[in-house]
Structure 1
Amino acid sequence: MGILGIGVLPLVITIGIAVWQYFRRRKRRRLGCDTRPQAKKWAMRGLSTALVAAVAAGGTTAFASTVGIGDYIRSASSPYNMGDYYAEPTVTGAEAKRNLVTIYLESGEQTLANDEHFEKDAFAPLKDVTRPEDGWQSIENFNQYEGGGWTMSGLVSTQCGVPLKGVGASVDSGSPDQLVGSMNSYLGGLTCLGDILAEQGYTNVFLGGANPSFAAKGTFLANHGYTKDVGLDDWRAAGEPEESFRSDWGLSDERLMANAKNEIDQLHATAQQTGQPFNLSMLTLDTHEPVHIYDYCTVDTESEVTSAFFCSMTQVADFVEYMNQMGYLEDTSVVIMGDHLKHMSAGDAFHEQLGGHTNRTIFNRIWVPGETGTPETRSDADQLNMFPTLIEAAGLTLENREAGLGVSAFSPDIPGDSAQSFEPDPYKDLLESRSEQFYSEAWAARTAP
């Protein structure tokens, strides 16, 4: 609706009601027909006053909740512009390019691995198959970017290297998944992971249990190099049994990973025949609250959410182990990460455990094959840094090892003119900035070649 709809329109309605009431009473007095009892007059005036107040207050509340007055003022007064620090991804070498598998874990927060605060380590199954002694790495203190916290923000930040924002009034929308509505273009002015890999000959495939139309995820993928995007309707059309679906969301993680095995078998075979690599991305959903407990899950905790997380990680771990058994890890990089921190909305679990936690971070694991000298990852990186990290995990080299607002987590050094060189407070100001010109260009429809 925008600012006019949620901030100005209620005021216009308020004035209209007041003017209507004024002329209505004046006309009745002039014609001598205002014969209502005094008590009824006061009742009507009270009702009108309440209506005016409700409209005005409602409009103000809607404006505050939809735009976020504090955020809006801070973003408008920020001295920073993201365009000044955005690094256009420039590939300088592709001789070592390799396959890439990326698995996004719904609400995959590292904090849930703490079995002192929770009934058990929710990530234990996945940690068992991604051990450091076997060559797996992780970014210590992998942070959600300032202002993020939902699935599309996780996808965009890690695959495009910028915060997900609209333009102007919608910069800090209280309903971020509605930023783009039914638009046919999604950040067409940016170069994202799928674009870069497609340019290098990769086949880009995305598998998810939910409907791709939700939050325009399918539009984003189609606009950025993904030629195959499989979601809810596709799984139903393929004959997946009804018990494999949760009515409010989509296909179970068990069946998603089973289908992922078939998909990677085909992709890997084709890559070996053609010499062109693939990029397979996936997004789980079993841990989206309210959680759904499938027949294949065991509930052995007081909170079903903990058991649901453990069960989902078991399905992902099984897929990782399958890749290992098939020999795919010999030529395929794997990055596993949460899409965002666990939500803390009313009714969500673990408010007590997470509410006062001072170091909430995102679970992640990284596998890069065939390089015994792979450098350790840089700690305390946020989601924007994952964009260049994914590019380098695919075996490509980047100019200055940066892309978007991020610097590869494989790089121990940060360029002095990078956004990542900022101290925490200025960096927060940068990410909160409206940067209208930058986002106007970012949301521009892509021009066909």
Structure 2
Amino acid sequence: MIVITLILSLLYTNNRYNVTAYFNYQSQKTTIYNKKKKVHKKKNTEYIGDSTIIYQNPKDVKISGDNTNNLIYIYLESFENTFLDTENGGIKNVNCLPELTELAKQNTNFSNTDQLGGALPFTGTTWTIASMTSQFTGLPLKVEVANDMDQQNRFMPGAKTIGDILNENGYIQELMIGSQKEFAGTDKLFLQHGFDKICDINSLKQEYSFKSNELNQWGLDDYKLFELAKNEITQLAQTGKFNFTMATIDCHMPNGFLCKYCPDTYENRYENVYACQSKLINSFIDWCKSQSWYENTTIVLVGDHPTMAQQYVNDVPSDYQRTTYNCFINSKVTTDQIKNRQFTHMDMYPTTLAAMGFNIEGNKLALGTNLFSELPTIIEKYGQDYINEEVQKSSEYLDKNIYQFN
């Protein structure tokens, strides 16, 4: 029985995490990060970019901008479009996200369909710290490190990130999370790449007092976090240009966290948590609209990854593509190419900067493509399967120049 149990466990692990494929890919090397020849631009013509380039080192790209916007960037825990109704791109009979649906329709939502949609799940981007990393750096997080980046001295020291670019341009930057900043190396990712401050559960407890019903097993409930975020942003706005980034937690697996504002009107607990988040985020956006800095601030809402609360997505049809929510508010640029796109969280990197008003020469940063530009993303150009296989292969360039592990 022990032997049989062990064999079954190994088979399950291999099937669940594709271990055999992982070791197979690690024995192969990719060339997608190899240096490309410099493109000679024609005089008197705007350089849109080269769609054949897969990886573009951000350190080689000219990034400029006059009168660029402030940034409020919100990672939405486990927020996917599956929980919309079928009319709007989900699978539900009733839409438990009416407020976020309207926000997406009234502003810019990049979609993989002709309805509301979002980014496709991709290797090295499908858990919280990996999603943060991919949106922040335009690169996937290596799978073998998972949530162990807190064991590293440095977090991708060779990468040039959104934080680094905004720091160079004089932005004051703050991250607010309701959990512990040390988890999975979150503090290293942001503080080592241009951020000035992190507010987490421990620092917030020193400044504020909380009731027991305002806390959950990860830290602080989101409704309280948004309340405190208003205080932090008000102070930041007085310092000049700012980037306020925050991450929610209430939709975390296995069942989400109900708070005193959550309704009891939907089919299951998770849908009620989602509905509560929709109202909470919309209320926060309404508050932003009433502030003097709103017109000069780009707000980006992005689901960090599809939910891992498997019992609530067992009814998803096999032919339905689960994607994460996104909404760009107050973008300084627009595009008609928002529907039927194929993109990943890595594309959020240049797209966010473009939305703020930055000009990115060539419209590519790392593996990300500016979705507001005319260039196809790398998975639109080369196919998701090919790029997915390549990023799983070993790369001496990344290990030596970007990750620089202990």
In structure 2, what is the equivalent of residue 88 of structure 1? Answer: 57
Distance 1:63 1:293, change over 3 A: closer
Whether contact under 8 Å (1:122, 1:306) holds in the other structure is: yes
- Answering whether residue 152 of structure 2 is matched by residue 152 of structure 1, we say no
**2:205 partner amino acid:** R
Whether contact under 8 Å (1:335, 1:366) holds in the other structure is: yes
- Answering whether residue 107 of structure 2 is matched by residue 143 of structure 1, we say no
In structure 2, what is the equivalent of residue 285 of structure 1? Answer: 249
| SS of match in other structure, 1:257 | helix
Distance 1:59 1:69 in 2: 14
- Answering whether residue 348 of structure 2 is matched by residue 401 of structure 1, we say no
Residue by residue over 1:333-353, the C-alpha shift from the partner in whole angstroms, topping out at 9 and shown as x without a partner, is 111110011115xxx332322
- Cα distance, 1:437 vs. partner? 3.4
CA RMSD, Structure 1 to Structure 2 (Å)? 2.8
Distance 1:237 1:83 in 2: 48
| SS of match in other structure, 1:102 | strand
- Answering whether residue 74 of structure 2 is matched by residue 100 of structure 1, we say no
- Answering whether residue 283 of structure 2 is matched by residue 323 of structure 1, we say no
Distance 1:247 1:233 in 2: 14
Q: Which has the larger radius of gyration?
A: 1
Distance 2:367 2:91 in 1: 34
**How many residues were matched structurally?**
373
Whether contact under 8 Å (1:211, 1:250) holds in the other structure is: yes
Residue by residue over 1:300-357, the C-alpha shift from the partner in whole angstroms, topping out at 9 and shown as x without a partner, is 123110001110221111111111122433100111110011115xxx3323223625
Distance 2:137 2:128 in 1: 14
Whether contact under 8 Å (1:406, 1:419) holds in the other structure is: no
Q: Give matches, 1:15-414, under 5 Å.
A: 64=14, 68-77=19-28, 79-83=30-34, 85-89=54-58, 90-114=61-85, 117-118=91-92, 120-132=94-106, 136-141=107-112, 142-147=118-123, 148-165=125-142, 172-173=143-144, 176-178=146-148, 180-271=149-240, 277-289=241-253, 290-343=255-308, 348-354=310-316, 356-369=318-331, 371=332, 374-378=334-338, 379-414=341-376
| SS of match in other structure, 1:96 | coil
Distance 2:178 2:228 in 1: 11
Higher helix share: 1
**1:296 partner amino acid:** Y
- Cα distance, 1:299 vs. partner? 1.6
Q: Which runs of 5+ in 2 are unaligned?
A: 36-53, 113-117
- Cα distance, 1:440 vs. partner? 3.5
| SS of match in other structure, 2:300 | strand
In structure 1, what is the equivalent of residue 391 of structure 2? Answer: 431
- Cα distance, 1:97 vs. partner? 1.5
- Cα distance, 1:130 vs. partner? 4.9
- Cα distance, 1:153 vs. partner? 1.2
Whether contact under 8 Å (1:206, 1:226) holds in the other structure is: yes
Distance 1:56 1:123, change over 3 A: closer
Residue by residue over 1:408-443, the C-alpha shift from the partner in whole angstroms, topping out at 9 and shown as x without a partner, is 01012249xx67621333222223222243233212
- Cα distance, 1:219 vs. partner? 1.2
Distance 1:362 1:62 in 2: 27
| SS of match in other structure, 2:314 | helix
| SS of match in other structure, 1:366 | strand
Distance 2:65 2:405 in 1: 28
- Cα distance, 1:60 vs. partner? 6.3
Distance 1:54 1:127 in 2: 49
Distance 2:305 2:7 in 1: 33
Distance 1:91 1:319, change over 3 A: farther
- Cα distance, 1:246 vs. partner? 3.4
In structure 2, what is the equivalent of residue 36 of structure 1? Answer: none
| SS of match in other structure, 2:298 | strand
**1:184 partner amino acid:** N
Whether contact under 8 Å (1:188, 1:223) holds in the other structure is: yes
Residue by residue over 1:115-153, the C-alpha shift from the partner in whole angstroms, topping out at 9 and shown as x without a partner, is 674363232122334542xxx111012223421310011
Whether contact under 8 Å (1:81, 1:433) holds in the other structure is: no
Distance 1:233 1:152 in 2: 19
**2:335 partner amino acid:** P
| SS of match in other structure, 1:186 | coil
Distance 2:186 2:64 in 1: 30
**1:325 partner amino acid:** S
- Cα distance, 1:83 vs. partner? 4.7
Distance 2:138 2:381 in 1: 15
- Cα distance, 1:201 vs. partner? 0.6
Distance 1:413 1:61, change over 3 A: closer
Q: Which runs of 5+ in 1 are unaligned?
A: 1-49, 166-171, 272-276
- Cα distance, 1:200 vs. partner? 0.8
Distance 1:55 1:83, change over 3 A: farther
Residue by residue over 1:175-202, the C-alpha shift from the partner in whole angstroms, topping out at 9 and shown as x without a partner, is 7212x24222101111111011101111
TM-score by length of 1: 0.76
Whether contact under 8 Å (2:176, 2:200) holds in the other structure is: yes
Distance 1:220 1:187, change over 3 A: same
